[in-house]
């Protein structure tokens, strides 16, 4: 990984070291029967890198991308790395107002969007000072491929150093405004190398990829794993249980958020025969219930490997490949990563004592984009990143005794809901609801949900003599914010419960509405 001259490799160069010698073999097979060889992947990536280079963007320019999942979308990510630019993926669920914030904050030099969104995205991009807008559809349509198709399929990867940015991932903030986590080539490269070994990627592995590719899980952890190992990916556009079951017999590795496992278990066609060639199931992004962990083992004979990570740090802690995988625990700190659990008074927690989880390591991000103060707040004076998660070493879960060196995540100090693996910050939703006519105040909470793990619920107080229409309000929110953030229920109450300090008691609301 580290070159003799002290520079790190461009992440693309690192991934490339794993590509197989036989370039005619299959790199990506799509759900609708298309095969992309490694040669196709390399050539398409080079063509796109040539297109990016032809725009003569200044060093460090951001390339913001909001497109449906497709192999070409992955090639665009790789091309951005290859051209030495900074990739900024955006969830396809984000609506115009959300996109306007991201583009205004990141000031990308280029925006790539779905052809169907071109008109409004161009308007927003121009407003934010972005000169270039290209389109990419999930059916190989759009101006990006039209232009790149005419260019050379050779491109010399631009040199990048340790600390150069590879990507910016927006992660919602407790204040309601998203922050761009700046990830360097070293952050991503070192994590990919560690995971390759820790999860024992093998020759012949085939990754079943059904995650979205605009977050850490699907874009980095899953794709990097397969690319660095020269492994074929079976590429599904989204989670579809029947499609997973159809392709699983030809796969060996799958990564998913807990909802993947919950839904597979609900399908009676999912059984031991389906998983006959599978080597490894990995879960993360949200807590995996021990009930799901146990049922999965019973049904398939496989022990799901749960791991823990976040946008700012990529992967931190994981159950081992060899050795005990413990239900309800996220496992051991990964090699090169230090993890501590610390009390509010700064003392280290002993085994089975609950405290804040903090981390250090080459995987920990460089800081929040253009938010030096926020960055400073999130690190301790001695350089540990405060994850905002609450945990403990060892103890016991409903699955049994947890070894003392294994971490359990027991809660969050940040007011955050994780629904189907997507983060929702209540503050952001509350500010949208509070702006609606007739609303006095609101509190947004997460309640247990059998499919999504947690579901967003809004508890709202009307202004005196105002009459609120919950269904109408939900419909209105659907036009303003990403669909996964929209409350599944909106409940109107006369007042919110408060403590002696006047603070809304969200724990009371959670109990009442769970
Ligand atoms: C979709 N919907 C959701 C939702 N996803 N609601 C709450 N939470 C979610 N996650 C809603 C839609 O708004 C729609 O509502 C209805 O559900 C059906 O939409 P859909 O698009 O058909 O849903 P589906 O395809 O079934 O998607 C569900 C899902 C998906 C769980 C498969 O959300 C998903 O792929 N999640 C993965 C997220 C992920 O990759 N996270 C990683 C973050 S990285 P309506 O009302 O319009 O019908 C990270 C770090 C780490 O956290 O450690 O990995
Ligand atoms: P994000 O900001 O989207 O990267 O989400 C990161 C957050 O997801 C973490 O801070 C945790 O709260 C949560 N998370 C990720 N993996 C797990 C896990 N295995 N168990 C519990 N929480 C998790």
Query: In this predicted model, what pLDDT tens digit does every residue of 423-434 receive, in sequence order?
Result: 999 999 999 999
- For ligand 2, say whether the CB of 292 is within 6 Å of any of its atoms: no
State the pLDDT at residue 175: 65
Interior angle at CA 311, CA 175 and CA 354, nearest 5? 75
pTM for the complete prediction?
Answer: 0.96
Inform me whether the pLDDT recorded for 370 exceeds 90: yes
Residue 413's pLDDT band, with cuts at 50, 70 and 90, is confident
Residue nearest to atom 52 of ligand 1 (CA): 285
**Minimum CA distance residue for ligand 2 atom 12:** 389
Residue 174 pLDDT > 70: no
Cβ 213 vs Cβ 65: under 8 Å:
no
Residue 172 has pLDDT above 80, yes or no: no
pLDDT at 176: 63
Beta-carbon contacts of 363 under 8 Å, excluding residues fewer than 6 positions away, are: 187, 190, 191, 194, 313, 314, 315, 316, 334, 336, 337
* Per-residue pLDDT at 297 exceeds 90: yes
pLDDT for the residue numbered 1: 45
Q: 239-284 pLDDT, tens per residue?
A: 999 999 999 999 999 999 999 999 999 999 999 999 999 999 999 9
* H or E segment to which residue 112 belongs: strand 110-113
**Percentage of the chain modeled with pLDDT above 70:** 98
Identify the pLDDT of residue 7. 54
CA of 385 to the centre of ligand 1 (A): 28
DSSP annotation of 250 reads G
Whether 85 contacts 62, CB under 8 Å? yes
Question: By the 8 A CB rule, do 158 and 46 touch?
Answer: no
DSSP per position, 434-485: HTSTTEEEEEEEEEEETTTEEEEEEEEEEPTT----HHHHHHHHHTTS-GGG
Question: Which strand (E) or helix (H) includes residue 282?
Answer: strand 280-283
**Sheet architecture: strand order including 385-393:** 338-342, 355-360, 385-393, 407-412
Cα separation, 69 vs 186, in Å, equals 26
- pLDDT at position 219 is 98
pLDDT band at residue 400, thresholds of 50, 70 and 90?
Answer: confident
CA of 462 to the centre of ligand 1 (A): 30
Enumerate residues 6+ apart whose C-beta is below 8 A from 401.
none
- If one compares 6 and 175, the residue with the highest pLDDT of the two is 175
Which residues, other chains included, contact 208 with Cβ-Cβ below 8 Å and sequence gap of 6+? 233, 234, 236, 244, 247, 248, 251, 253, 254
E strands along 348-452, which residues? 355-360, 367-368, 385-393, 396-397, 400-401, 407-412, 417-419, 422-424, 439-449
How remote is the CA of residue 348 from the centroid of ligand 2, in Å? 22
pLDDT at 228: 97
pLDDT recorded at residue 289: 96
Ligand 2 within 6 A of 385 CB? no
The pLDDT score that the predictor gives to residue 448 is: 96
Three-class SS state of 504 = strand
For 435-490, how does the pLDDT look when each residue is reduced to its tens digit (9 = 90+)? 999 999 999 999 999 999 999 999 999 999 999 999 999 999 999 999 999 999 99
- Residue 420 Cβ contacting ligand 2 at under 6 Å: no
CA distance 265 to 291: 11
Q: How far is the CA of 195 from the centre of ligand 2 (A)?
A: 17
Q: What is the mean pLDDT of residues 156-173?
A: 92
Asked whether the predicted pLDDT for residue 197 surpasses 50, the reply is yes
The Cα 174–Cα 385 span in angstroms is: 16
Ligand nearest to the backbone CA of 486: 1
Pairing between β-strand 489-493 and β-strand 453-462 as defined by DSSP bridges: parallel
- Please report the pLDDT score of residue 405 as a whole number: 98
Res. 138: pLDDT tops 80: yes
303 DSSP assignment: -
The torsion of the CA quartet 288, 289, 291, 293, rounded to 10 degrees, works out to: 20
Q: Does position 2 have pLDDT exceeding 70, yes or no?
A: no
| Beta carbon of 259 within 6 Å of any ligand 1 atom | yes
Mean pLDDT across 371-375: 95
Separation between Cα atoms, residue 295 and residue 230, nearest integer Å: 32
**Paired tokens of 470:** 């919950």
Strands 396-397 and 86-89: unpaired
Which tokens go with 217? 């899980």
CB 231 within 8 A of CB 255: no
Under the banding of pLDDT at 50, 70 and 90, the label for residue 8 is confident
Task: Give the separation between CA 312 and CA 306, rounded to whole angstroms.
Answer: 19
Q: How confident is the model at residue 173 (pLDDT cuts 50, 70, 90)?
A: low
Confidence of residue 4 (pLDDT cuts 50, 70, 90): very low
Task: Indicate if the pLDDT at residue 347 is higher than 70.
Answer: yes
Query: Is the shortest distance between the CB of 239 and ligand 1 below 6 Å?
Result: yes
Which DSSP helix (H) or strand (E) runs through 310? Answer: strand 305-310
């Amino acid at each position: 990984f580290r070159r003799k001259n002290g520079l790190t490799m461009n992440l693309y160069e690192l991934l490339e070291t794993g590509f197989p010698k036989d370039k005619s073999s299959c790199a990506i097979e799509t759900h609708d029967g298309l095969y992309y060889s490694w040669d196709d992947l390399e050539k398409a990536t080079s063509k796109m890198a040539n297109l990016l280079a032809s725009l003569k963007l200044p060093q460090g320019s951001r390339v913001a991308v909001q497109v449906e999942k497709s192999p070409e979308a992955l090639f665009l990510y790789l091309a951005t790395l290859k051209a030495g630019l900074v990739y900024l993926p955006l969830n396809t669920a984000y609506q115009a107002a959300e996109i306007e914030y991201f583009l205004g904050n990141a000031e990308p030099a280029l925006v790539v969007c779905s052809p169907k969104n071109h008109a409004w995205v161009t308007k927003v991009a121009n407003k934010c000072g972005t000169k270039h807008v290209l389109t990419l559809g999930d059916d190989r349509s759009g101006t990006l491929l039209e232009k790149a198709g005419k260019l050379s399929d050779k491109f010399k990867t631009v040199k990048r150093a340790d600390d150069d940015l590879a990507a910016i991932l927006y992660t919602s903030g407790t204040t309601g405004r998203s922050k761009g986590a700046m990830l360097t080539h070293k952050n991503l490269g070192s994590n990919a190398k560690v995971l390759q070994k820790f999860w024992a990627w093998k020759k012949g592995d085939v990754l079943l990829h059904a995650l979205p590719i605009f977050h850490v899980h699907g874009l980095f952890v899953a794709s990097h794993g397969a690319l660095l190992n020269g492994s074929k990916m079976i590429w599904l556009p989204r989670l579809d249980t029947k499609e997973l079951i159809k392709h699983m017999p030809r796969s060996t590795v799958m990564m998913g958020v807990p909802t993947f496992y919950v839904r597979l278990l609900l399908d009676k066609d999912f059984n031991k025969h389906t998983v006959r060639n599978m080597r490894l199931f990995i879960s993360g992004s949200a807590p995996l219930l021990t009930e799901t962990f146990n049922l999965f083992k019973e049904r398939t004979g496989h022990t799901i490997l749960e791991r823990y990570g976040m946008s700012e740090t990529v992967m931190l802690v994981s159950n081992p490949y060899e050795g005990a995988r413990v239900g309800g625990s996220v496992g051991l700190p990964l090699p090169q990563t230090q993890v501590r659990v610390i009390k509010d008074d700064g003392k280290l927690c002993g085994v089975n004592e609950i405290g804040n989880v903090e981390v250090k390591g080459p995987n920990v991000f460089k800081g929040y984009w253009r938010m030096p103060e926020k960055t400073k707040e999130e690190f301790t004076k001695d350089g540990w990143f405060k994850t905002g998660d609450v945990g403990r070493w060892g103890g016991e879960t409903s699955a049994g005794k947890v070894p003392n060196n294994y971490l359990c995540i027991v809660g969050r100090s940040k007011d955050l809901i994780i629904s189907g693996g997507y983060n929702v910050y209540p503050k952001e939703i509350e500010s949208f609801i509070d702006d609606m006519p007739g609303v006095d105040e609101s509190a947004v909470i997460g309640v247990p949900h059998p499919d999504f793990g947690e579901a967003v619920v809004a508890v709202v107080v009307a202004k005196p003599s105002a009459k609120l229409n919950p269904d109408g309000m939900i419909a209105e929110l659907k036009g303003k914010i990403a669909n996964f953030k929209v409350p599944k229920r909106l409940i109107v109450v006369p007042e919110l419960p408060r403590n002696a300090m006047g603070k809304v008691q969200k724990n009371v609301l959670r109990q009442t509405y769970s």
